[in-house]
Amino acid sequence: MNLHAVKAIYKFEMARTWRTLFQSIATPVMTTSLYFVVFGSAIGSRMMEIDGVSYGAFIVPGLIMLTVLMESVSNGSFGIYMPKFAGTIYELLSAPVGLTETLLGYTGAAATKSVILGLVILATARLFVPFSIEHPFWMIGFLVLTSVTFALLGFLIGIWADSWEKIQIVPMMVVTPLTFLGGSFYSISMLPEVWQKITLFNPVVYLGPTSTSC
């Protein structure tokens, strides 16, 4: 394996993140902060506890997952699609870089961005709602595995897509609806029994705050 190629691709993608820090980090954090203000503070203060925790604390993992899933897919797809769109992909194809190195470089960078973003949002959430982390080690492992998995999905989308519209299809038409319907803002135990069983077929349910009660 050409580790120099993996390192070069990874560093290039991470450098692009730091060059566009406002778009890559600040904007998702600001957007999620609005969710905390509206749902956590304004609406959450008028709602009862869910599964023994305040509503504001309940939606923290769901909001983190929503951002991590979206950003992992978006970063994974944009990283490989942009060279195709700009025509610089031929430089990569003509270099002594194989599929494994390309995959590790792009998805590793996309997953790293998502993990950083998830941790920043977690820290930001403390400004709005009090909460505690029972198992921090497992939380980090879960965050990393989720980021890597959806970065790989994004990479596949970037390979498949031949237009910017196709890049947005899966994040906007699949990931977002599944996340909102997966118990991010409510407990699935609040649904009628029939809908509870239907909701269990949604894979995002097992990534959100209600996953421990499924």
Integer-rounded Cα radius of gyration of the chain: 18
Q: What is the pLDDT of residues 76-123, one digit of tens each?
A: 888 888 888 888 888 777 878 888 888 899 999 999 999 998 888 888
pLDDT tens-digit profile of 4-46? 888 888 898 888 878 777 777 777 778 777 777 776 666 666 6
The tally of domains found in the chain comes to: 1
Residues above pLDDT 90, as percent of the chain: 11
Q: Is residue 57 part of a domain?
A: yes
132 located within any domain:
yes
- Any residues with CB less than 8 A from the CB of 173 and at least 6 apart, and which? none
* pLDDT band at 214; cut points 50, 70, 90: very low
Select the more confidently predicted residue: 115 or 210: 115
Distance CA 51, CA 185 (A): 12
In a domain, 172, yes or no: no
**Residue 193 within any structural domain of the chain:** no
Residue 210 maps to a domain:
no
pLDDT at 51 over 60: yes
Using pLDDT thresholds of 50, 70 and 90, give the confidence band for residue 213: very low
Note if the pTM is more than 0.85: no
CA distance 114 to 74: 10
Domain that holds residue 100: 3-165
Write out pLDDT tens, residues 61-79. 888 888 888 889 988 888 8
Assigned domain for 60 exists: yes
143-148, Cβ contacts within 8 angstroms, sequence gap of 24 or more? 143/64, 143/68, 143/115, 143/118, 143/119, 144/111, 144/115, 146/65, 146/68, 146/69, 146/72, 146/207, 147/68, 147/72, 147/110, 147/111, 147/112, 147/114, 147/115, 147/118, 148/72, 148/107, 148/111
pLDDT of 201 above 80: yes
